[in-house]
Homo-oligomer: A and B are copies of this chain.
Amino acid sequence: MQTLWDHRFALRTQNMQSSTIRELLKFTQQPDVISFAGGMPAPEIFPIDEFAEASNLVLKEQGAEALQYSTTEGYLPLREMIARHTNQYGINVTADNIMITNGSQQALDLIGKIFINPGDRILVESPTYLGALQAWNAYNAQYVSVPLDQDGIKVDQLEHALRAGPKFMYVLPNFQNPTGVTIPLERRKFLVELADRYGVPIIEDDPYGQLRFEGKHIPAIEVLDDQLYGNNCSYHGNVIYLSTFSKILAPGIRLAWVVATPEIIQKMVMAKQGTDLSTPAFNQMIAYEVGKGGFLNGHIQNIINVYRDRRDIMLEELQNNMPDGVNWTHPQGGLFLWATLPDKIDTSQLLKIAVGKKVAFVPGVAFHPDGSGKNTMRLNFSNAKPEMIRLGIRRLAESIKESL
């Protein structure tokens, strides 16, 4: 349709093209396709009864407040609850360091809004979370990427990248999306030291860190920054830390949080005010009611048990069915693993064959800002039920064998 709006789109929309991959992924939503493509939690363990009880209580006792406009920084009791919850993981913050966002995606957008000038370079892991690239492409960011290995970002290649003068670096230390790898303690410490040496601050995106199936919790990069450069018992501030209720409660309420200095929180609040005024009070009050009595820790353990089982089944089926030359990561938590195929296979082409066999994944190229990773793929193990994981991996193995 011809309208006066034609040819009036902002230059930045050129960075928002719908990708071939997104077009392909539409087919994955057919009900008979077993999809390892999304990043969705298992709906079977959503705490629906707790939500119903909390909704009733909130509407009965605080209905007018829940349905009214609310503060941009977020519902104070929820921010206090988050501070207490994250204190358990050694993150020494108060409500003043916390802002509520509409999912972590909004935190990434607001970070773009307050920090990225057109052309600024951002240091990212390669591969990295697709949503961060989507958020920052809209601010015309450029990327400097550092490859990963089984222990996350290769710190021996980090110095070279830091010399390119990135505005900040973006890392997902725990069970990374998309690869599932985790950065060990020593590498985290070195990362914090390099950040300080080169004066490059860090965005630590940690949606999955609480979903550890085995092994010991590793302190957040934020915590190491406090230990190395702060006074070890308060928030130092070189790291902006992001986490979310999407993976430990439910994504459909769209609630996440940012941990930062009050100065940065204030800037983010101003940016959020112009972006959507506030996060729904209704949702925040319900999340607080569900979480306040200590529900979260027990519920997180339930999620861990379900996802560990699904990961084990996926690993077992991969082991039993994949042809030689296919390798994959062994994540200790989270929602994803990463497979690397023989060089000759382009997973974007493979996806067409796989969808024909009613199984789907995300081609790895989507997660590489430089367009590499053509022979890789991300597999989600949290959403499909065990029997579907078994069936889906067998279908995927057949698709790969046909492509060899």
Contact A253 B282 (CB under 8 A): yes
Contact A238 B138 (CB under 8 A): no
Q: Which residue of B lies closest to A52 (CB)?
A: B59
Interface centre among A46, A60, A134, A274 (most CB of B within 10 A): A274
Q: What are the residues of chain B within 8 A of A277 when measuring CB–CB?
A: 103, 105, 131, 254
Q: Give the total of A residues in contact with B, Cβ under 8 Å.
A: 91
Shortest A9–chain B CB gap in Å is: 6
- Given A52-B56, A200-B4, A252–B106 Cβ distance below 8 Å? no
Is A386 in contact with chain B by the CB < 8 A criterion?
A: no
Q: Which residue from B67, B109, B117 sits with its C-beta under 8 Å from A51?
A: B67
Q: What are the residues of chain B within 8 A of A196 when measuring CB–CB?
A: 4
Q: Which residue of B lies closest to A16 (CB)?
A: B270
- Given A52-B55, A167-B8, A275-B105, A63–B46 Cβ distance below 8 Å? yes
Q: How far is the CA of A80 from the CA of B44 in the complex (A)?
A: 28
Contact A10 B283 (CB under 8 A): no
- Given A201-B8, A274-B131, A275-B106, A59–B48 Cβ distance below 8 Å? yes
Contact B4 A114 (CB under 8 A): no
The stretch that binds B, out of A83-91, A260-268, A337-345, A347-355, is A260-268
Q: Which residue of B lies closest to A383 (CB)?
A: B68
- Given A1-B237, A109-B276, A167-B8, A63–B48 Cβ distance below 8 Å? yes
Is A271 in contact with chain B by the CB < 8 A criterion?
A: yes
The stretch that binds B, out of A35-43, A304-312, A396-404, is A35-43
Q: Which residues, 190 to 232 on A, are CB-close (under 8 Å) to B?
A: 195-196, 199-201
1/0 per position for A226-248, CB-CB distance to B under 8 A?
00000000001110100000100
Contact A67 B9 (CB under 8 A): no
Contact A236 B67 (CB under 8 A): no
Q: Which residue of B lies closest to A109 (CB)?
A: B275
Q: Which residue from B65, B105, B138, B274 sits with its C-beta under 8 Å from A16?
A: B274
| A–B complex contacts, Cβ < 8 Å, 24 sampled | A1-B237, A3-B238, A5-B168, A8-B167, A8-B168, A10-B114, A16-B271, A43-B68, A51-B59, A51-B67, A52-B56, A52-B59, A56-B56, A65-B252, A67-B250, A70-B252, A102-B102, A105-B277, A109-B275, A137-B274, A138-B275, A253-B280, A275-B275, A280-B283
